[in-house]
Chain A
Amino acid sequence: MTTDEVLRQVWPVFSAEAREILQSIGRRVLDWEASEPSAEAHEAMQRDAHSLKGMSGSMGLEGFVHLAHAIEDLLVVRRSETCIPRPSAEAILGALDAMETALAASTTPGVAPVEGQAEKLAALRTAHEAPATEVPSPAAEASAPPAAPAGTAAPAAPPESAPSAPAAAPAHAAAPAAPAAAPPTQAEPAPRRPDPATAPETRGEGSIRVPAHTIDQIAGYIEALALGADAADRRAGALLSAGEELQATVMAARAAGPAGRDELLDRLTELARGVARHGAESRRDALRHKLETAAAREDLRQLRMIPISAALEPLRRAVRDAANALGKEVVLRLHGEDLRLDRRIVDAVKDPLVHLVRNAVDHGLEPAEARRAAGKPQAGHIEVRVVPRGHRVAIQVADDGAGLSVERIRRRAVERRLLGAEEAARLAEAEVFRLAFTPGFSTAERVTAISGRGVGLDVVQSAVTRLQGSIEVTSTPGKGTTFELDLPLALSVTLGLLVRVDTERAAIPAVAVERVLRVPHGQMGHVVDRRVATVNGRQLPFVELADVLQHTGPAAPDDGPARTALLLRLGGTPLVVGVDEVLGEREFLVRGLGRRGAAAPLLAGVALLDDGTIVSVLNPAMILGRTEPRAAPRAASARIVVADDSLTSRTAVKTILELAGYTVVSAVDGEDAWRHIARGGVDAVVTDWQMPRLDGLGLVRRLKADPAHRATPIVLVTSLDAPEDRRAGLEAGADGYVVKKDVQSGALLDLVRALLPVRHG
């Protein structure tokens, strides 16, 4: 092997091990901020830093070597401190981050330049040279909680402290660690830290590190084996039947006649018995293989499962950093970290959880004064709880902050033209909360570096949807907010329903299918322009799977008095999905299609069937999301001003437009209409002709004369139906002309639709 090849092979192993070490040191340093580590913990940290130095040296990573060395020195110098001083902690964590980033960004084995290496080294050296801090006495702490919480450098720190230690900042992600000094309201224990006496001082679990690619390959081979077992079973069956046929023929031959044949027939009989025996043995083999592969599959599935703590650990750091940056005190509690999930889900859920806790620190938790005024403990509480639920898992992120303001969300939705005011008022609370997941939606008054740009929640939702999960939020004003993610335990083997749409097949994970139905045609209909089906007396949204798939075959054939359908639900409102046929229930191994699979968001992956063909495995969350009118980000509905001095006519037109989904603003005459138009945000105008003050024609002229509004379509609706009137209206600049008696028949709607540009959600 050439050096290159050796490097290529060794690099992933080095990278994984180095990252484990970086995380291990980081965890221990965070713990050290809160309480004094045991002797074993100190040994472990120094050993880790030392190992890192050695490993990096052998890979030729000079930057890592220098940083690891500086970290090692700093650890030694600070060893006697009960709590590691802030500048030291910051310097070490900063260096660890930089190395982690370098490894993550590395595309070439052996090359991982550390960004800002010089600064990180300088910070480490500065922290090294700072004089040892005094451990604040419990008395001093009790009297001045805002001043020097245990573990930070004294606020009046020597000038050479790292700039990252804000003077007198009370912010601290871990709760103040000296329980004796803590004010009475902060009796909560610090975030989970291993009890030095009992916690294992090992980095991992004695597990073997296997590249994910290898696991995929093994899975592939085993799958092939499974198919082989099926094939063998079929063969066995064939052999058995052949044997039986031979027997039968032989008996017939015997019955038929005379001499010499008998020997032949004896031979044939033996052959037949032999065939039968082979058949039986093959069948036994096949059964054994099936059991073996099932066991292998299960072991493999376990290999894929890792404790969710890997996704929860980064939250401690995220909360700490966010709290520091905002000057808030936050206590983070984690529960259920030992639950094992598919590695891919754990990886994918890291970022969404970080978003959620950052949001909670930033927006959920009130500043200290507000909390005190509300009688809450000064430190905000965030709890992340992992709860198993059968084949699925729920992850709850709860804060005890101010809660979500339903009114603010409603108002913001109207402001951002997601809904009309009346529509917003009519929404149930749960649906209002769901609005918060719209892209770009944020009720934050100001954008902070942490959050507030409104990017977070919709990203969280799409990440969760991609994992075939869902997210819900509940909140009590004044008490707090809880986000709950519902996720599968594993992405691999799924029980699913195989269905047929025209000539194509698709698989849908069974977990999302509540029932298979036959919906009589009489129970299907329309409400406005949405299809519905009545199931058990309840009207539910209906959609054809063919439409969701944008299938371009012929329309669904008439399959008798009822339509076959699936009742899909993943928490939330169910959806009735029409299919041509349900082919049966199968267990699928869902495989991804790699990066190119991202071009097919409807697919959770593909599955290999017994007959060797491949089918799409649909992502039920995507089907539900696509068709649920509220959950998906809605296209802003157009605002139309309707001007008519007759209440009856005005109401009639308003109703027609609102049923079609538009937002309508009423005006009693031309001047009134103009007032609305001038304010802006009007997409179209429908006006009567004869009105006091400013009539329709005048309105048209004024509109078209104003450069700011010239492009707004305006339609004249009037009882005047003479060609010269029509001409006058169009000459004045009207974009359309409808006679009142034609309004009911849809002429107005057609015109409005034609004049308004199509909006995309």
Chain B
Amino acid sequence: MSDRDHLPPEERRRVLAERRKALAETPVDQARETWAVVAFRVAGHRHAIPAAHARQFLEAHRLSPLTGTPSWMLGAIQARARVVPVLDLRLLLGHTGSGIADATCVILIEDDEGEGFGIAVDSVEGHLEIPRDALTEVHGGGLVRWWGPDRLGVLEIDRLGLDGGTAERST
């Protein structure tokens, strides 16, 4: 138990709130100021998501297509006890080509609300630690929120599949 428990309630609340805010905002490694992400490739482009959100890596052939869904929803996949929708990142990001054909892996993501969904990717590069100052923030509301070294587009998890799925142009 830390010192925090001996603080007066107001003070403790403030510290806890600040800490929660900091944790909620970015996956920052406080000691080394780097970001932990999982990098992957989609249609020849390099992208990444914050590592804290990537829960599982599944084989794409386990994906079941679903009828009556928008084109950017490839289907659904079963992961442990859940069935979650799988999104076609190519369509969502506005890259050419779409469909299950080249995807080999589905990354299972858990968003801030605890809900799961998958993204179909062509290949997974793996975990990367990116120094914070190597990241440039992108404004303008697209799905790519930060640019990292070597044209790595780090994605905004919470908007994936929730903004109507219109194709986005990643600059």
Contacts and interface: CB of A to CB of B under 8 A. Distances in A.
A12 to B, nearest CB: 11
A3 B4 contact: yes
Contact of A595 (B64, B87, B115): B115
Nearest to A602: B68
A606 B76 contact: yes
Contacts of A602: 68-69
Contacts of B78: 608, 612, 614
B95 to A, nearest CB: 20
Nearest to B114: A213
Interface residues of B, number: 41
Contacts of B73: 596, 599-600
Contacts of B115: 594-596
A39 B81 CA distance: 49
B25 interface: no
B67 A551 contact: yes
B124 to A, nearest CB: 22
With a 10 A CB-CB cut-off, give which of B81, B117, B165 has the most chain A CB atoms: B81
Interface in A600-630: 600, 602-603, 606, 608, 612-616, 618
Contact of B9 (A60, A224, A501, A550): A60
Interface string A207-224: 000000100110111011
- Chain A contact residues, majority secondary structure: mixed
A593 B76 contact: yes
A180 B113 CA distance: 55
Interface residues of A, number: 44
B4 A608 contact: no
B137 interface: no
A505 interface: yes
Contacts of A3: 1-2, 4-5, 12, 16
A196 interface: no
A350 interface: no
B161 interface: yes
A512 interface: no
Interface in A171-218: 213, 216-217
Nearest to A501: B67
B75 A603 contact: no
B131 interface: no
A62 B11 CA distance: 13
Contact of A60 (B13, B19, B87): B13
Nearest to A227: B78
B113 A595 contact: yes
Contacts of B16: 3-4, 7, 110
Nearest to B75: A614
Interface in B1-42: 1-2, 4-5, 9-10, 12-13, 16-17, 19-20, 24
Q: Enumerate the 8 nearest inter-chain pairs by beta-carbon distance, A residue then B residue, closest first.
A: A220-B81, A614-B64, A596-B161, A594-B115, A602-B68, A600-B69, A504-B67, A614-B76
Interface of A: 2-4, 7, 60, 62, 108-111, 213, 216-217, 219-221, 223-224, 501, 504-506, 548-551, 591, 593-597, 599-600, 602-603, 606, 608, 612-616, 618
